[in-house]
Amino acid sequence: MKRLKTGVLISGKGTNLQALLDAAADAAYPAEIISVIANKAGAPGLEKARKAGVKAAFIDHTLYEEREDFERELDAKLREDGVEFVALAGFMRILTPWFVDKWKDRLINIHPSLLPAFKGVHTHERALESGVRVHGATVHYVRPEMDEGPIIGQAAVPVLAGDTKQTLADRVLVAEHKLYPACLKLVAENRARVTAGRVRLDRDSAPSTDAILSNPSSV
């Protein structure tokens, strides 16, 4: 089986990266993680990558005057490593249209809310403030507009009485760790293609989106 050669971009802890590394440790998983790049020195995710035997690199965005100059380095490194597909996992840097277009439909992101609600930062705090009863996470193809793009899958969690932004974030993160590997699997099996600006799931072989929402690990 040919596995999709995937690069992961991170900025921090890398718990989603770990979930992807764990899934890809199974030779039957249709994607392999071959390169991890962080834009923050000492991002704990880099160590997670090395432990899994995956190439890990740090590219310091502060050294570049223009965003695009940083992205050219990123792009060159990904290509040098032989990456075919990129997953953003807690990568806290807005990408320019130049980079997004270069990797169009080969670039996905995980965002900690049920998009299109709560784009941007502080999603858990804002969910609590707004009084929503259901919150969650979304995996989507990246477009130049922030947190826009065809949705591949979503995982919902309840907002409980007494939740703080931390307890809610923790609950969402557990869901993210199931959702992201499930979505990358769909993409790698070519079962989540973009058609007319939306993701068409291959329903012949895939469960419905509802199944992903309620039980991401079943995909």
End-to-end CA distance of the chain: 19
Q: Is 144 in the site for ligand GAR (CB under 6 A)?
A: no
Q: Is 14 in the site for ligand GAR (CB under 6 A)?
A: yes
State the Cα–Cα distance between residues 219 and 207, nearest whole angstrom: 7
Nearer to ligand GAR, 48 or 185 (CB): 48
Q: How far is 100 from 89, CA to CA, in rounded Å?
A: 15
Nearest 5°: phi and psi at 157? -130, 150
Q: Which of 103, 46, 49, 47 is nearest to 71 (CA)?
A: 103
- Shortest distance in whole angstroms from residue 54 CB to ligand GAR: 15
Number of residues that bind ligand GAR (CB under 6 A): 15
In this chain, which of 33, 83, 95, 110 binds ligand GAR, going by CB under 6 A?
A: 110
Task: Give the helix ranges, DSSP H, for the chain.
Answer: 15-24, 44-51, 67-80, 97-102, 123-130, 165-188, 209-214
Residue 38 beta carbon to ligand GAR: minimum distance, rounded to whole angstroms: 10
Which among 111, 135, 140, 177 is annotated as catalytic? 111
**Which residue has the closest beta carbon to ligand GAR?**
90
Q: Is 138 in the site for ligand GAR (CB under 6 A)?
A: no
Nearer to ligand GAR, 121 or 160 (CB): 121
CA-based nearest residue to 88, from 9, 25, 35: 9
Among 7, 30, 112, 150, the residue binding ligand GAR under the rule CB under 6 A is 112
- The residues, any chain, with a CB within 8 Å of residue 62's CB and separated by 6 or more, are none
The answer to whether the peptide bond before residue 44 is cis (omega within 30 degrees of 0) is: no
111 near ligand GAR, rule: CB under 6 A: yes
CB of residue 111 to ligand GAR, shortest distance in Å? 5
- 61 classed as catalytic: no
Residues 182-211 as x/- pattern, contact with ligand GAR by CB under 6 A: ------------------------------
The amino acid sitting at 68 is E
Q: What is the largest CA-CA distance in the chain?
A: 49
Asked whether position 124 contacts ligand GAR by CB under 6 A, the answer is no
The answer to whether 90 contacts ligand GAR (rule: CB under 6 A) is yes
**Interface positions with ligand GAR (CB under 6 A):** 10, 12-16, 45, 89-90, 110-112, 137, 173, 176
Q: Which residues are tagged catalytic?
A: 111
